[in-house]
Amino acid sequence: MLELTDIDAFYGNSRALQGINLMVGGGEFLAVLGRNGVGKTTLMRSILGLMDRVTGRLSLDGADISALRTYQRAKAGIAYVPQGRGILPRFTVRENLTLGTFAARQANGIEDWVLELFPVLKEFLNRYGGNLSGGQQQQLAIARALLAQPKVILLDEPTEGIQPNIVEQIEDVIVKLNREHKITVILVEQNVAFARRASHRFALLEKGRVVAKGEIGELTDDLIQLHMAV
């Protein structure tokens, strides 16, 4: 499905990722873990083509997409929910959702199944995005990404700063997207318990490099202590 080969990524002349090699199969769930500042968000931005410069090869379904621009990667089937959610506060919920449909491979508009995942959005379609709570904004960001009809969705700490009563709802939806809708998920996460519950495989980053990866059952407490303890 998605393969990264010898990926280096740069902010200006500063190299932020070094020699990243990862493969995520169709319908798999990969958790990307590590301390703050080790390159997790940079990895997500590199996949979508948002870095100053990236070298190496990135392929989707066997096709080299390394030279594609960000909007072309979105059209090819990669969706991204960034930290901070990226919703437009002066746009209504309906208008924010409509933006997601512009990258869809087939013009289906705002699909009912997406609204069924997040019933509060259906209730608030005419409310401005900036008037939603943090948890509701995150649901909107995920729904908008789904309306692009992605093959793979990149989620950067989707429950960070969310009120506890909504965290579990969002986690359950993410698992459902993978298990029932067969969307490939790459999740940046600090919550090890959720990563273990939801993921098939993991990758641990340290100083811009993958220092450990494997099946989720191989994510030992020793690895967590070594690469995630503060």
Q: Which residues contact 226 (CB under 8 A, 6 or more apart)?
A: none
127-154 pLDDT, tens digit per residue, is 999 999 999 999 999 999 999 999 999 9
What is the CB neighbour count within 10 angstroms for residue 11?
12
* Beta pairing class for 184-188 and 152-156: parallel
Span 201-206, mean pLDDT?
97
**Is the pLDDT score of 104 beyond 90?**
no
Q: Which residues contact 27 (CB under 8 A, 6 or more apart)?
A: 1, 178, 182, 183, 184
What is the per-residue pLDDT for 209?
A: 97
Write a three-state SS string for 64-88: ECCCCCHHHHHHHCEEEECCCCCCC
Q: Which residues contact 196 (CB under 8 A, 6 or more apart)?
A: 216, 219
The H or E element spanning position 3 is: strand 2-11
The H or E element spanning position 169 is: helix 164-179
The H or E element spanning position 8 is: strand 2-11
Q: What residue ranges define each of the domains in the chain, with the CATH number in brackets? A: 2-86+145-228 (3.40.50.300)
What is the per-residue pLDDT for 44?
A: 97
Q: Which two tokens stand for residue 218?
A: 């191989």
What is the per-residue pLDDT for 85?
A: 81
3-state secondary structure of 100: helix
Chain centre distance of CA 121: 20
What is the per-residue pLDDT for 81?
A: 96
Q: Which two tokens stand for residue 129?
A: 């995005």
Q: Could you tell me which residues are beta bridge partners of residue 54?
A: 9
Name the pTM for this structure. 0.94
Give the residue ranges of DSSP H helices in 3-55: 40-48
Q: How far apart are CA 124 and CA 115, in angstroms?
A: 11
The strand order across the sheet containing 209-215 reads 78-81, 152-156, 184-188, 29-33, 201-206, 209-215
150-170 pLDDT, tens digit per residue, is 999 999 999 888 888 889 999
Q: How far apart are CA 78 and CA 158, in angstroms?
A: 17
Chain centre distance of CA 93: 20
Q: Which residues contact 68 (CB under 8 A, 6 or more apart)?
A: 49, 76
Q: Which two tokens stand for residue 61?
A: 């379904």
